């Protein structure tokens, strides 16, 4: 506080000097005799000098000239005309209608009529005896001690310098008139020179009429002419004259006209004489000239221009005075602080709230954390900025209030201490000092503030409150600009990223790229001699795809990397993003809200208690109520700022556009989502339990392998303008989905193929064995011949089944289904087995006739044996015990049962031999003999059963008779 103390000290010295000078007369009036007691006169005299306030420092950088410029020289050499009143008629009218002028004219008229007497001299007035005359005192008398001569001279020089006013520049001497032939006379011609009888001519203003009068009446001699209007009139010119008497001439400027010519006499110029004819000719020329528009309107134009210049000068001076009183920028105490605040605001406005690294791709969480970290740093700097502004503004307010002659309430104490030195608050003098301040022992003790001083202090504090409010407006405007610039910076980043968004055709070409990659891989797997051309074509397409990819990579290298990263979330019903558009909108909105909160953390200065000494000064012993409000509202500015709202809306639209492109990219993976949904809904256990054909295995293997290739061909990361789409999580879900189904198919196909191979080989080997076996009995011949017929029909289906198995193993080989090597070894024996069976069939067909003959031979033997057995049964049936009623029925029944079983067996054999004869078309004599013998045995069995039934009926009837009785 060195500077305020120094300024305060110099100001206090000046003010106390003024008080001593002002009160010295009163003290001398009270003590007129001698010097003041206990006062050093030398020190008192030294305090009589007063000094002007310090002027503003000279601007050394201002443009200065070491010599007068040409424009200054021309201006100095230009004669200055007399100042004309803007409205002479109005001035004359006002002067005539003034009460003083009317009273003066009335008084003169009454004095001329003799109503008033002339006042007598003061010395001749009568005096009353009791009257007391005032004491005559020389003007230089003073009750103060006599000053030395050197101090008197110094005071006189200072007084003269203070009263000195700028001298009026001397008028330029008028060049001598070429017509001036006579020197002005020392005296004005008397009335005796003029002719008599010219009184009736007074008032004539027409120069031509004057010339005619002088020429027609030579006896007149000459006439006195005087200007008809004053110089201030717009009608004043050289020839505007009127005839006057000698008493009414204007001695400073008048003319005489005679037959010789016109003589013009002026007090400030030489006398000029113009011959009458020449004067008349000049007048006529003058009349013609004043009819020209320029000369006719010259007087009015000059009067208006002078009036306009004066009015403009007056307004400029008033405006200058008002600006000097109201503008803080011209206040020497507040101007540096205001410039410092503006400089700090300018520097702080360059600081950005939004921090984005070029070439870095952020996740939403990482971006938010980066912005929040930047905001924390900025918040600390803003807090330091506010504290610095507070110090600058309060120091300036203190200095301004001190220079105004008032001491701030908090200048010598803390906020908790009372302001006065034992007095009531606000009543202490404005000039109170610190206790350790070097006070002047000869100065008067400070008095309490008067009401006028307190009112002035209130007015100054209001002005300083306005200054604090101005600082608030500067800070709030800076904070608003800082927030808007930061949001605009974010929008610029997003717009720049959005320009890299690929077109819809480029996005849809990703599907073709994925399909081409899958085809190329499949082509590599399906190498075949027949697909050489297709392979070459695929290689060409691959080369083109690589070239296009290289071009795309080069183009992408020139582009900026995406700003944000998002991931695919694969669900059976839809394909989503994480974070999605709503989360991005909320995250960016939160960042913008934090921007606003960061600048809103800089509170206004007006409501701060730090400035209560200026916003709530102590007046009349109490604190003034704060009437300045809370200062400008930055929240309202944000709400009303349509430009800021449009920027925020553009940010939302940019994010929406970015996600629209990402959704278009996601639509390319709709087939992937569909097969993922189907695969997830497939019951693999049911697939394992069901029976499937080769078409099912071919279709599923191809589908699942294609899905696997499609899943592997998905780019891991793909820049889509602003967003970098990460498909790692989606690939992690997609790739296992077809692989799980493939595992089931891979488990089923080799097992099914091996079982079919085993079944076919077993059947073929059995057929080959049966065909190659030599029959030895009738049954073997029958089986051999029947099997030969059966195998002839079966061989074609077996070949088809073998072909199906072949397709299975081709699928296994094509799709690299894991299969044990021994399965392939067993499969290799399938085709030779079919060939061997086919050869055995051909051989058996060649030997069929011979085998039929052998079969007939064996069949005849069997028929003979059958007939022999039939005869034996017939002989047993001839047993007389069978028909004997007295024979043992149990024994007979057992015998008949054995005969029935044997007959059934013989019957089956007879039917079998009969079928053999029918099938192979060999004889039919077996039927009659066998049927006769069998019928006889069956008849005897039936008869035996009838006897048994009759006996049973007799027993039942006897039982019933006994019961009836």
Tokens 């009437």 found at:
627
Contacts 24+ apart (CB under 8 A), 209-218: 210/241, 210/243, 210/257, 211/257, 211/276, 211/279, 211/280, 214/257, 214/258, 214/259, 214/276, 215/259, 215/276, 218/259
How far apart are alpha carbons 576 and 559 in whole angstroms?
26
- pTM (two decimals): 0.57
Angle formed at CA 908 by CA 878 and CA 918, multiple of 5 degrees: 120
Q: According to the model, what pLDDT value does residue 318 have?
A: 93
Give pLDDT, residue 110: 82
**642-667 and 451-498 helices cross at what angle (nearest 10)?**
20
Residues belonging to the chain: 965
Give the pLDDT score at 517: 61
Residue 72 structure tokens: 């200054």
* CA dist 553 → 361, 561, 955 (Å): 17, 12, 116
Q: Which residues pair with 274 in a beta bridge?
A: 262
Please state, for a pLDDT cut of 70, what percent of the chain lies above it.
69
pLDDT for 557: 52
Q: What is the pLDDT of residue 425?
A: 40
For residue 852, the model assigns a pLDDT of 79
Q: Is 272 helix (H, G, I), strand (E, B) or coil?
A: strand
Q: Which residue has the higher pLDDT, 398 or 137?
A: 398
pLDDT band at 93 (very low <50, low <70, confident <90, very high): confident
Q: Around Cβ 610, how many Cβ atoms within 10 Å?
A: 17
Assign 565 a pLDDT band (cuts: 50, 70, 90): very high
Q: Is the pLDDT of residue 582 over 90?
A: yes
The residue ranking higher by pLDDT, 585 or 134, is 585
What mean pLDDT do residues 204-223 have? 89
- Region 440-455: mean pLDDT is 62
In whole angstroms, give the CA distance from residue 644 to residue 647. Answer: 5
Omega within 30 of 0 (cis) for the link into 579: yes
Give the N- to C-terminal CA distance of the chain in Å, as an integer. Answer: 160
Q: Strand, coil or helix: what is 291?
A: coil
CA distance 600 to 635: 8
Average pLDDT over residues 665-680: 89
User: In the structure encoding, which two tokens stand for residue 471, read together?
Assistant: 């600082």
* 3 state DSSP class of 275: strand
Is the pLDDT reported for residue 53 higher than 60? no
Among 860, 871, 868, which residue's Cα sits nearest to residue 913? 860
Report the DSSP pairing between strands 272-275 and 261-266: antiparallel
From the number of C-beta atoms within 10 Å of its C-beta (0-12, 13-18, 19+), residue 799 rates as middle
Higher pLDDT, 846 or 126: 846
Decide: residue 827, CB within 10 A, 0-12 exposed, 13-18 middle, 19+ buried: buried
Between CA 141 and CA 668 the distance in angstroms is 114
Q: Nearest Cα to 769, choosing from 831, 837, 852, 827?
A: 837
Q: Are strands 723-726 and 717-720 parallel, antiparallel or unpaired?
A: antiparallel
Q: What is the pLDDT of residue 367?
A: 93
- Which alpha helices (DSSP H) does 178-334 contain, by range? 207-216, 276-289, 293-296, 298-326
- The rounded mean pLDDT for the chain is 76
Lowest mean pLDDT among 29-33, 308-312, 643-647, 841-845: 29-33
Which 3-state string (H, E, C) describes 492-560? HHHHHHHCCCCCHHHHHHHHHHHHHHHHHHHHHHCCCHHHHHHHHHHHHHHHHHHHHHHHHHHHHHHCC
**Residue of 776, 747, 951, 758 whose CA lies nearest to 855:** 776
In Å, how far are 622, 776, 926 from 787, measured between CA atoms?
134, 15, 25
Please tell me the predicted confidence (pLDDT) of residue 277.
92
266 SS3 class: strand
Tell me if 366 sits within 8 A of 357, measured CB to CB.
no
CA-to-CA distance for 665 and 668, rounded, in angstroms? 5
Lowest mean pLDDT among 46-50, 225-229, 550-554, 781-785: 46-50
Lowest mean pLDDT among 512-526, 568-582, 865-879: 512-526
At 156 the pLDDT is: 61
Binned at pLDDT 50, 70 and 90, residue 935 comes out as low
Q: Give backbone dihedrals phi and psi of 443, rounded to 5 degrees, phi first.
A: -80, 155
> What is the DSSP secondary-structure string of 908-960?
HHHHHHHHHHHHHT---THHHHHHHHHHHHHHHHHHHHHHHHHHHHHHHHHHH
- What mean pLDDT is predicted for residues 772-779? 82
- Strand 723-726 relative to strand 564-570, pairing: parallel
DSSP state letter for 604: -
* Contacts made by residues 489-495, CB under 8 angstroms, sequence distance 24+: 489/352, 489/354, 489/356, 490/354, 490/356, 490/588, 490/591, 490/592, 490/651, 491/647, 491/650, 491/651, 491/654, 493/354, 493/356, 493/563, 494/563, 494/651, 494/654, 494/655, 494/658, 494/722, 495/650, 495/654
SS3 693: coil
Q: Is the pLDDT of residue 487 over 90?
A: yes
The Cα–Cα gap between 316 and 321 comes to 8
How far CA 216 is from CA of 213, 258, 878, in Å, comes to 5, 11, 218
Using the predicted structure, report yes or no on whether residue 128 has a pLDDT greater than 50.
no
* β-sheet with 575-578: strand ranges across: 575-578, 564-570, 723-726, 717-720
Tokens of 358: 């070029």
How far is 765 from 757, CA to CA, in rounded Å? Answer: 12
Token pair belonging to 150? 């050197």
Return the pLDDT at 941. Answer: 56
- The candidate with the shortest Cα–Cα distance to 443, out of 28, 146, 12, 143, is 12
- What integer is the mean pLDDT of 269-297? 90
pLDDT on residue 227: 92
Query: CA 7, CA 3: separation in Å to the nearest integer?
Result: 6
Beta bridge partners of 273: 263
pLDDT at 428: 40
For residues 448 and 196, the model is more confident at 448
What pLDDT band is residue 195 in, cutting at 50, 70 and 90? very low
pLDDT band at 57 (very low <50, low <70, confident <90, very high): low
* Among 617, 624, 621, CA closest to 407: 617
- Residue 720 belongs to what H/E stretch? strand 717-720
834: number of CA atoms within 13 Å, CB side?
Answer: 20
Cβ 374 vs Cβ 355: under 8 Å: yes
DSSP result, 230-262: -TTSTT--TT-EEEE-GGG--TTEEEEEESSEE
pLDDT-derived band at 284 (thresholds 50, 70, 90) equals very high
Report the alpha-carbon distance of residue 883 to residue 943 in Å, rounded. 8
Which residues fall within 8 angstroms of residue 543, CB to CB, at 6 or more apart?
A: none
Of residues 250, 247, 255, 243, the one with CA closest to residue 209: 243
């Amino acid at each position: 506080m060195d500077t305020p103390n120094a300024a305060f000290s110099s100001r206090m010295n000046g003010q106390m000097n003024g008080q001593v000078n002002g009160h010295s007369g009163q003290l001398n009036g009270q003590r007129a005799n001698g010097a003041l007691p206990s006062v050093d006169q030398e020190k008192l005299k030294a305090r009589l000098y007063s000094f002007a306030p310090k002027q503003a420092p000279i601007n050394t950088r201002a443009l200065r000239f070491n010599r007068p410029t040409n424009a200054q020289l021309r201006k100095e050499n230009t004669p200055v005309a007399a100042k004309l009143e803007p409205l002479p008629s109005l001035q004359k009218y006002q002067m005539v209608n003034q009460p003083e002028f009317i009273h003066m004219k009335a008084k003169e008229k009454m004095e001329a009529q003799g109503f008033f007497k002339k006042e007598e001299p003061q010395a001749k007035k009568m005096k009353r005896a009791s009257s007391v005359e005032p004491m005559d005192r020389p003007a230089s008398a003073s009750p103060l001690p006599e000053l030395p001569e050197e101090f008197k001279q110094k005071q006189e020089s200072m007084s003269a310098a203070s009263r000195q006013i700028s001298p009026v520049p001397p008028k330029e001497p008028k060049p001598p008139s070429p017509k001036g032939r006579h020197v002005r006379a020392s005296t004005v011609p008397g009335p005796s020179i003029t002719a008599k009888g010219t009184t009736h001519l007074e008032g004539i203003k027409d120069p031509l009429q004057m010339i005619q009068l002088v020429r027609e009446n030579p006896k007149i001699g000459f006439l006195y002419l005087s200007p008809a209007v004053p110089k201030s009139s717009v009608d004043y010119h050289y020839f505007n004259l009127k005839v006057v008497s000698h008493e009414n001439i204007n001695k400073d400027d008048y003319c005489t006209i005679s037959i010789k010519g016109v003589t013009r006499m002026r007090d400030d110029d030489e006398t000029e004489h113009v011959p009458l004819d020449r004067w008349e000719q000049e007048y006529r020329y003058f009349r013609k000239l004043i009819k020209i528009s320029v000369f006719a309107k010259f007087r009015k134009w000059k009067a208006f221009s002078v009036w306009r210049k004066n009015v403009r000068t007056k307004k400029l001076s008033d405006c200058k005075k008002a600006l000097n009183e109201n503008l803080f920028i011209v206040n020497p105490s507040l101007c540096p602080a205001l410039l410092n605040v503006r400089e700090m605001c300018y520097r702080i406005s360059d600081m950005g709230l939004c921090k984005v690294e070029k070439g870095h791709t952020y996740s939403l969480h990482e971006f938010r954390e980066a912005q929040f970290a930047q905001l924390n740093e900025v918040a600390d700097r803003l807090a330091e900025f506010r504290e610095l502004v507070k110090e600058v503004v309060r120091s300036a307010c203190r200095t301004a209030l001190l220079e105004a002659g008032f001491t701030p309430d908090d200048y010598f104490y803390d906020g908790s201490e009372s302001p006065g030195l034992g007095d009531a608050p606000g009543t202490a003098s404005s000039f109170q000092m610190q206790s350790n301040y070097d006070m002047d022992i000869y100065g008067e003790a400070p008095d309490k503030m008067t009401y006028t001083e307190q009112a002035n202090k209130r007015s100054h504090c209001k002005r300083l409150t306005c200054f604090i409010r101005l600082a608030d407006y500067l800070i709030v405007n800076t904070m608003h600009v800082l927030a808007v610039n930061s949001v605009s910076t974010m929008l610029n980043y997003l717009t720049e990223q959005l320009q890299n968004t690929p077109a819809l055709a480029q996005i849809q070409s990703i599907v073709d790229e994925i399909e081409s990659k899958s085809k190329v891989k499949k082509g590599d797997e399906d190498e075949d001699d027949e697909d050489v051309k297709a392979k070459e074509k695929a290689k060409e397409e691959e080369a083109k795809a690589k070239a296009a990819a290289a071009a795309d990579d080069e183009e992408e290298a020139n582009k900026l990397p995406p700003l944000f990263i998002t991931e695919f979330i694969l669900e059976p019903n839809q394909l989503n993003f994480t974070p999605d558009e709503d989360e991005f909108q909320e995250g960016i909105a939160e960042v913008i809200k934090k921007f606003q909160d960061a600048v809103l953390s800089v509170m206004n200065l007006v409501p701060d208690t730090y400035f209560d000494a200026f916003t709530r000064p102590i007046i009349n012993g109490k604190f003034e109520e704060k009437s300045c409000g809370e200062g400008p509202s930055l929240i309202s500015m944000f709400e009303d700022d349509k430009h800021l709202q449009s920027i925020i809306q553009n940010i939302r639209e940019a994010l929406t556009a970015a996600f629209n492109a990402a959704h278009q990219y996601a639509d390319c993976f709709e087939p992937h989502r569909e097969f993922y949904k189907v695969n997830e809904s497939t019951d693999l256990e049911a697939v394992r339990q069901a029976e499937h054909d080769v078409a099912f295995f071919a279709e599923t293997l191809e589908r699942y392998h294609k899905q696997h290739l499609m899943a592997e061909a998905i780019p891991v990361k793909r820049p889509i303008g602003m967003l970098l789409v990460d498909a790692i999580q989606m690939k992690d879900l997609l790739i296992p989905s077809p692989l799980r189904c493939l595992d089931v198919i891979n488990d089923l196909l080799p097992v099914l193929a091996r079982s079919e191979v085993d079944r076919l080989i077993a059947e073929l080997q059995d057929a080959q064995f049966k065909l190659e076996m030599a029959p030895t009995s009738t049954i073997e011949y029958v089986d051999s011949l029947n099997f030969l017929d059966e195998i002839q029909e079966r061989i074609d289906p077996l070949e088809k089944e073998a072909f199906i198995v072949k397709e299975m193993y081709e699928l296994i080989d094509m799709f690299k289904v894991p299969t044990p090597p021994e399965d392939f070894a067993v499969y290799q024996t399938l085709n030779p087995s079919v060939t061997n069976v086919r050869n055995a069939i051909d051989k058996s067909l060649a030997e069929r006739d011979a085998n039929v003959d052998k079969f007939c031979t064996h069949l005849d033997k069997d028929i003979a044996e059958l007939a022999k057995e039939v005869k034996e049964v017939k002989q047993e049936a001839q047993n007389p015990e069978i028909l004997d009623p007295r024979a043992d029925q149990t024994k007979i029944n057992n015998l008949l049962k054995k005969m029935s079983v044997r007959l059934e067996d013989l019957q089956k054999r007879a039917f079998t031999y009969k079928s053999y004869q029918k099938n192979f078309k060999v004889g039919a004599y077996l039927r009659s003999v066998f049927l006769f013998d069998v019928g006889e045995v069956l008849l005897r069995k039936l008869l035996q059963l009838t006897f048994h039934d009759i006996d049973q009926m007799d027993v039942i009837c006897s039982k019933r008779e006994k019961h009836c009785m």
